[in-house]
Amino acid sequence: MRRRTAPPTALGGEPVKMPPDVAHGPDPAVWAVDVAVPPWLDDTAGRQLVAEAEAVRSWQAAGERWGAEHGLRHGEWRELLPPAVAYAVSVRGRLNRAAGQLKVPWER
C-alpha cells in the first residue's frame, strides 16, 4: 500500500492549504467555462455531459499546476484531497455515480 503524501509546507514549515476550488472537486459550475457543444449534441443531457468532461479536465490541470508549484510529483496532489472527493473521482466512485448510487460532494 502506498504511503499518503505529506502536505507541502511553506518556508515557515506551515502546511500549504489546497485551494478550495481544487479541494472541492470538478464542479461544472466552477470549472466548465464557455463550453462549446457540437450542434448535433445540443440538448440538456449533451450539454451536461460536455460540461462535466470539461470541468474534470480543467480541475485536473489546476490540481497538477498547484501540485507542481508546491514540489509534488505528477498526481500526488490527489492524495491530499478530502476523502469524499477522492472517492467520487476514483474509478469506483465514477461507476457508482453513473449507476445512480452516489451523490458527489459538489452536487449536495
Residue 1: predicted pLDDT: 45
- Rounded mean pLDDT of 70-84? 90
Domain-wise residue ranges, the chain:
20-107
Contacts of 3 (CB under 8 A, 6+ apart): none
Residue 44: predicted pLDDT: 67
Contacts of 37 (CB under 8 A, 6+ apart): 46, 47, 50
Nearest-CA neighbor of 10 among 76, 80, 67, 70? 70
pTM of the model: 0.77
Helix extents (H) in 9-75: 20-23, 28-31, 44-69
